[in-house]
Amino acid sequence: MLSCEGTGKNIEQAVENALFELKASREDVDIKILNPGGFLKKAKVLVTISEDAREKYEKKEKLKRQEQEETKINVNVHEPKTEEQKSKVKETQIEQPKVKVNVEKPKVQIITDEEYVIAEKSERKQYGLEEKEYKTVDAEKLIKDILEALDLTAEITVEEDDKFIRYLLTGENLNDLIGHHGECLYALSSFISAVCKNDKHKKVVLDVENYRSKREETLKALAERIANKVAKSGRYYKFEPMDASERKVIHTALQNDDRVTTMSKGEEPRRYLIVFPREYKE
């Protein structure tokens, strides 16, 4: 089943009911409002698996049908067909004598966390599975090497909080590090974060000329304009593909807006965000 109609007291509930029937996630479907509902009327929507996710759900349906067919075949093979066959089966069935066995319950040994760690290390050593020491890459040195390779000069400032270690670059002719809508900056930041692990388990984030904060303010203003447009027209709005951090800014900016709701669709790096009317009030 690749599409389903859902009903509810409002649009949101109708969508949830349809998603439950399809056993699908919101990111994998397209939503069409058939009836907004109203006074004494239920809302009605048509939820359809999107083209980009259709293959995945078709495979699930095919596997489910194959399992059902295999189950039917196994039952038909082992089940006696005629009365003669049934009687032969009964003749071959011999009642097994009941034997009472006294099973001694195993004794449970309680050990401390410290003893467990010591025992685990000893066992790993016994089977030659000693933990390897991996070399760490210094993020600041890597950034300097990248700048040198690109023949660029920048001042690097490091800021740290509970979750992030931020490397802020300032200087001249750094626009190429940002790219169109920050594409180069986000890609480079993801690469550095993946390569440069730290013992504090904090995520490494790269920023150039405070682009992230400026972009965040721009996205908040854009989100407000789009919300007004969607609420006024009653039609959804689809953004162009964007980085996860930018999608989060828009999600957060509109999460308390009663007029609209947001969701992300597609696969990285072409994942995008859409804004559509939250519900039609009764």
Q: What is the CATH number of the domain that holds 204?
A: 3.30.300.20
Which residue do the tokens 């067919």 mark? 69
Which of 209, 228, 252 lies at the terminal end of a domain, its last residue? 209
The whole-number pLDDT of residue 281 equals 41
269 has pLDDT over 60: yes
Which of 166, 181, 209 lies at the terminal end of a domain, its last residue? 209
Query: What average pLDDT score do residues 66-76 get?
Result: 67
Token pair recorded at residue 87? 């009687």
The whole-number pLDDT of residue 51 equals 79
Question: Are both 217 and 273 inside the same structural domain?
Answer: yes
Which of 24, 41, 57 lies at the terminal end of a domain, its last residue? 57
253 has pLDDT over 50: yes
Per-residue pLDDT tens over the stretch 200-252: 788 889 999 999 999 999 999 999 999 999 999 999 999 998 888 899 999 99
Question: Are both 188 and 224 inside the same structural domain?
Answer: no
| Phi-psi map region of 201: left, alpha, beta (phi>0 left; psi -120 to 50 alpha) | left
Among 22-36, 127-141, 208-222, the range scoring the smallest mean pLDDT is 127-141
Does residue 152 sit within a domain? yes
Does residue 114 sit within a domain? no
Question: Are both 189 and 219 inside the same structural domain?
Answer: no
Does residue 63 sit within a domain? no
Does residue 12 sit within a domain? yes
* pLDDT interval class at 280 (50, 70, 90): very low
The whole-number pLDDT of residue 251 equals 93
Q: Which domain range does residue 148 map to?
A: 139-209
Strand partners, 276: 261
Q: What is the rounded CA–CA span in Å between residue 282 and residue 260?
A: 16
Q: Specify the pTM.
A: 0.47
Q: What is the CATH number of the domain that holds 220?
A: 3.30.1370.50
* pLDDT interval class at 144 (50, 70, 90): very high
Give the helix, strand, coil percentages of the chain, each rounded to 5.
45, 20, 35
Report the mean per-residue pLDDT for the chain.
Answer: 79
* pLDDT interval class at 278 (50, 70, 90): confident
Does residue 172 sit within a domain? yes
Question: Are both 228 and 188 inside the same structural domain?
Answer: no
- Domain count of the fold of the chain: 3
Does residue 126 sit within a domain? no
Higher pLDDT, 253 or 195: 253
The whole-number pLDDT of residue 49 equals 83
Question: Are both 144 and 203 inside the same structural domain?
Answer: yes
Question: Are both 193 and 233 inside the same structural domain?
Answer: no
Token pair recorded at residue 241? 């593909």
Does residue 86 sit within a domain? no
Highest mean pLDDT among 10-24, 85-99, 101-115: 10-24
Per-residue pLDDT tens over the stretch 103-119: 565 555 555 555 555 55
Question: Are both 197 and 218 inside the same structural domain?
Answer: no
* SS3 assignment, position 169: strand
96 has pLDDT over 70: no
Question: Are both 220 and 194 inside the same structural domain?
Answer: no
77 has pLDDT over 70: no
Provide CB contacts within 8 A for 203, sequence distance 6+.
163, 164, 165, 193
Among 51-65, 103-117, 129-143, 160-174, the range scoring the smallest mean pLDDT is 103-117
Q: What is the rounded CA–CA span in Å between residue 229 and residue 58?
A: 36
Question: Are both 147 and 200 inside the same structural domain?
Answer: yes
Q: What is the rounded CA–CA span in Å between residue 233 and residue 226?
A: 10
Token pair recorded at residue 33? 């409002």
Question: Is residue 226 a contact partner of residue 195, using CB atoms and an 8 Å limit?
Answer: no
Strand pairing class (203-208; 29-35): unpaired
**What φ, ψ does residue 76 adopt, rounded to 5°?**
-65, -35
Peptide bond into 277 cis (omega under 30): no
Per-residue pLDDT tens over the stretch 42-65: 888 888 888 777 777 778 777 777
Q: What is the rounded CA–CA span in Å between residue 36 and residue 27?
A: 21
Q: What is the rounded CA–CA span in Å between residue 93 and residue 105?
A: 33
Provide CB contacts within 8 A for 236, sequence distance 6+.
230, 274, 275, 276, 277
